[in-house]
Structure 1
Amino acid sequence: MARLDYFELPAADIAGSRRFYEQAFGWSLAEFGPTYAATVTGDTDIGLDADAASQPKAPLPVIQVDDVEPALEAVRSAGGVIVQPIYEFPGGRRFHFRDPAGNELAVWQKAGE
């Protein structure tokens, strides 16, 4: 299974960005430390990243898969360029790639799967 389930957005002002999405759409965002907040609906969620070292430069689509290693090989075989190799983060493992048009996306696998 592979499905688009997440978008990460740069958010220099995490409190202001969080307040905007809560007020504009009625979303509830959970805090994951001082620089990250996200919806946790289990559907397509949104993450706000205020950490200058890790935040995406543009919206980052994130695709969930069952197994990240074969997904990395499939992306590479299809012509994608790996820009960040597989790494662990709280909640799972992921990698980033650029598609042939130059768009950056991420692929992740939930921890324990």
Structure 2
Amino acid sequence: MKTPNIHINYIEFKSTDLEVSKTFYSKAFGWTFTDYGPNYTAFENAGISGGFEKTEALVNNGVLVVLHHKNLENIKQKVITLGGKISVDIFSFPGGKRFHFLDPSGNELAIWCESDD
């Protein structure tokens, strides 16, 4: 199934302890997990896909809404033109690439696309 553009596609949470998070969400809600290294785990069976990123910082607003778009450069320029500020420039990860931005109110979101290769 082709991923639509600019729909909420993925949600990321921060976690100070991935094992505690995995135990809590799997036992409480039946979520299943796939680890991607020591600092990241993805979840499924939650109604929407998402993941937990390990952090040492105090978690204040630890949810990152991730949108999808097929052309990161184009949507990045549109975000900037409309008053968004890039908080994390485009970077690659297994299976894709993404960037983070702050909307005009300061909410952080991310936009990703599949890898070109």
Same fold (TM over 0.5): yes
CA distance in 2, matches of 1:63, 1:110: 12
Query: Could you tell me which residue of structure 1 aligns to residue 9 of structure 2?
Result: 5
2:9 pairs with 1:25: no
* RMSD (Å) for aligned C-alpha atoms: 2.2
Cα shift at 1:44: 2.3
Identity of aligned residues (%): 36
Query: Could you tell me which residue of structure 2 aligns to residue 16 of structure 1?
Result: 20
Query: Could you tell me which residue of structure 1 aligns to residue 40 of structure 2?
Result: 36
Gaps of at least 5 residues in structure 1 are none
2:115 pairs with 1:111: yes
Gaps of at least 5 residues in structure 2 are none
Q: How does 1:1-113 map to 2 (within 5 A)?
A: 1-40=5-44, 44-52=48-56, 58-112=62-116
Q: How many residues align?
A: 111
CA distance in 1, matches of 2:60, 2:7: 20
Code of the residue aligned with 2:87 in structure 1: it is V
User: Which 4+ residue blocks in structure 1 deviate beyond 3 angstroms?
Assistant: none
> Does the CA contact (< 8 Å) of 1:10 and 1:56 recur in 2?
no
Code of the residue aligned with 1:32 in structure 2: it is Y
